[in-house]
Chains A and B, each alone.
Chain A
């Protein structure tokens, strides 16, 4: 089966610093990757969709200058939370799929805590 990894699995950072989260497809080429955010006891909310080699498409209400997404290769997408604040503390999940393929493969998630 297709495997998606995320690194780190958890991170604690100080307010004002930036944090980078990596999402990798280990055994397939991911033309599209998705980033979700999940607050406690809430659903997954899509933040952005990224296609390899092009700019990410952000959902309404998501600050693109704060959440920088780079999808530089077919197996790697990164999410950088810039100038993180406590309200950015959340569970971030990525997923990936192949072109024209409906199946979503989810990463294990990254728990970000901003102090």
Chain B
């Protein structure tokens, strides 16, 4: 079973539309971390946000916002007023403790295409 599920393989929107990328995770640990990364065509992962399991407060950063709900094990990511530069693959990741380290497990990624 997947620990991190990103059900949306590809999303296509027109510029200025709002778009939500879904992420559902599975863990038995009480302490864990959730991440979102952006991977543009260049390949380098761009860190977007980190959330620990004890902090369910939603966060907004410019056009980006995240909704963390432990009750549904979800950590969804919304881009408001999308722009062409937002086109990329977005990965959700779960980090669980293991032998003194935290090893992340990545979802399959959602490819976002924003058309002008």
- A→B interface (CB under 8 Å): 31-32, 34, 38, 41-44, 46, 49, 91, 93, 95, 97, 99-104, 106, 108-109, 111
The interface residues of chain B lying within 8 Å CB-to-CB of A100 are 100-101
Contact B100 A43 (CB under 8 A): no
Q: How far is the CB of A34 from chain B (nearest CB, A)?
A: 7
Contact of A99 among B100, B105, B109 (CB under 8 A): B100
Contact A101 B102 (CB under 8 A): yes
Contact A108 B43 (CB under 8 A): yes
- Chain B CB within 10 Å — which of A41, A49, A102, A111 has the most? A102
Contact A34 B100 (CB under 8 A): no
Contact B100 A109 (CB under 8 A): no
Contact B106 A43 (CB under 8 A): yes
B95 lies within 8 A of chain A by Cβ: yes
Total inter-chain residue pairs, C-beta < 8 Å: 53
B64 lies within 8 A of chain A by Cβ: no
Contact B50 A43 (CB under 8 A): no
CB contacts under 8 Å to A, within B73-101, are: 91, 95, 97, 100-101
Complex CA gap A31/B101 in Å reads 9
Contact B108 A46 (CB under 8 A): no
Contact of B43 among A32, A91, A104 (CB under 8 A): A91
